[in-house]
Amino acid sequence: MKNLVLFILILSSSALYAGKNSTQHTAQPQENPATEAIDREIWTHLDTRKLKLRSASVLIIDKAGNELYSKKSQQPRPIGSITKLMTVMVILDAKLSLDEKIPITKQDRDLIKLTGSRLKYGATLSRGDLLNLALMASENRAASALARTYPGGTEAFIKAMNTKAQALGMTQSQFTDPAGLEADNVASPHDLALMVSAASRYPEIEAATTRLKMDVHPYPKKGALTFGNTNRLLKNRAWNISLSKTGYINEAGRCLVMQAEMKGKELIIVLLNSFGKLTPFGDANRIRKWIDS
């Protein structure tokens, strides 16, 4: 009888240990309930009625998961170049050499929106440079080249993007191309918050998305090409931004996701389908003033 009781106790302990370990692979880390309660107290003064935003879908949360503001946050929408955050995560997960030289080819041209590029056929850059340009300058051919040179090619790459999304718990998302040019690249603000949180764990992504400009040398015996960041808020000293990405196609409108510090806390801001080139930046400034008030 004693042996039976001992066996039951060991079995119960093993099950409890396994249950604890099963939470280690969730999309977001589990926060201390006491910490969550303290964080919630910081935002109790906020009156959502005073926040007037022009973006069609919005989500503002802190890293503890506390929701400060939400508008249609569960509705999937086209996301444009915000897609490139997923693109770069998949590349970094594959542990491919960032020093490998990759040429731009006709396969990398945009046949969807027919956008141009300063990276002409024959331009050659390292995978690391292409990664930086895809995020910082939202370079479409850079994103396409990254996917094309992935093991198994672009088709395998897109499959990996969707597998990564599922692993992060992004149940309202779909990826169909690496640059975000197709309107079928969709995600809800809720899912994008998960993606931003995951992307913030990659130092390369934080560095690339907050870099103001970058010189590259894609052509032999020619001068440097200078690329700038698509997020104008990075030049504003009032902001403390640790990660950002803009996005735009006609179907998506103007989009912006950011991780920024306010009131001593890291916040994730998702703004989708804004009308007007400057509207997402205007909405972001309205959010900062609302929180600081």
Contacts of 192 (CB under 8 A, 6+ apart): 59, 79, 82, 257, 270, 272
Tell me how far apart the alpha carbons of residues 148 and 3 are, in angstroms, rounded to a whole number: 60
Identify whether the C-beta of residue 39 lies closer than 8 Å to the C-beta of residue 265.
Answer: yes
The question of whether 263 is a catalytic residue gets the answer: no
The question of whether 57 is a catalytic residue gets the answer: no
Identify whether the C-beta of residue 255 lies closer than 8 Å to the C-beta of residue 272.
Answer: yes
Q: Give me the catalytic one of 55, 73, 138, 200.
A: 138
Q: Output the six-digit token pair for 11.
A: 């079995």
Q: Give me the catalytic one of 73, 84, 173, 200.
A: 84
Please count the other Cβ atoms lying within 10 Å of the Cβ belonging to residue 249. 22
The question of whether 81 is a catalytic residue gets the answer: yes
Q: Give me the catalytic one of 57, 81, 173, 197.
A: 81
Integer angstrom CA distances of residue 235 from 206, 207, 284: 16, 15, 14
Q: What length is written for the chain?
A: 293
The set of catalytic residues is: 81, 84, 138
